[in-house]
Amino acid sequence: MLGMGAMMGAVLQAPLAALMALMELTRNPHIILPGMLIITTSSLVTSEAFGKKSLFLTILKSQGLSYQNSPVIQALRRVSVGAIMDRNILRTERFLSREEARKILKSEPKWLVVEGSSGPTGLLPAVDLARYMEDTKAPATDSEEDTTPEQIDLMDIPANRRDIAPVQYQATLEEALNEFDQTSVEALYVQRHVAPMIQRVYGVVLKSDIESYYQYRRS
């Protein structure tokens, strides 16, 4: 019943807006009932019989404005990405020496945000770097040196890397989901302006984090 109510609410938004426009143009309250019958009927026929959206909704969509009002969307609009982001991250350059990699792992981050020439370009679990270091370590001998290459390329080693895109700290979960759909990335890094031309990264959000959050709140 809740889903049906949300669907009908979305369908009736355009007719109500059109009805308000008629009221403003005519300033006649007697037009409410016939106008409601005509506009609602025509909108339902357009959407259900021909599968088309009303002109009002089409204009909203072309302007990038959201007209959805389902319980899911309402819940996502009330929460910012800062509330669910994972803060256990460490920003690092793409190329590391063996000693730099050891220092990074010693701080025990969960995620490594790999920097590129124009900002973060990738995300990988720190455990994948640790596994690579372990796999390339030589068998125990008199020397404790390992066989890890002098320079480690974080975008080349075996790892579950994710493409990333930015999202602002103030963005809602709905806006984050839209960003996922528009960019087709696998993760978003949450940033905020702290000074002119300076962005600070506070955490990362996966699409699964948003889905898990909603499922938890609904239960």
Task: Please report which residue ranges of 91-205 form alpha helices under DSSP H.
Answer: 98-106, 126-135, 173-183
What mean pLDDT is reported for the chain? 80
Instruction: Check residue 70 and give its pLDDT.
Output: 66
Question: Contact at 8 Å (CB) between 118 and 197?
Answer: no
Q: Which two tokens stand for residue 150?
A: 């002098």
Task: Please report which residue ranges of the chain form alpha helices under DSSP H.
Answer: 2-26, 32-44, 55-62, 71-77, 98-106, 126-135, 173-183, 207-218
Q: pTM for the whole thing?
A: 0.65
Give the tens place of pLDDT for each residue, 170-186: 999 989 999 999 999 99
Question: Contact at 8 Å (CB) between 105 and 92?
Answer: no
Tell me: pLDDT of 38 over 90.
no
Return the higher-pLDDT residue of 60 and 112.
Answer: 112
Return the higher-pLDDT residue of 89 and 48.
Answer: 89
Tell me: pLDDT of 4 over 60.
no
Residue spans of the domains in the chain: they are 2-69, 81-218
Q: Which CATH superfamily is domain 81-218 in?
A: CBS-domain (3.10.580.10)
Instruction: Check residue 173 and give its pLDDT.
Output: 92
Return the higher-pLDDT residue of 48 and 139.
Answer: 48
Map residue 51 onto helix, strand or coil. coil
Name the amino acid, one letter, at 147: T
Question: Which whole number is the average pLDDT over 136-158?
Answer: 72
Question: Which whole number is the average pLDDT over 123-135?
Answer: 95
Question: Contact at 8 Å (CB) between 10 and 38?
Answer: no
Give the tens place of pLDDT for each residue, 39-57: 778 777 777 777 766 666 6
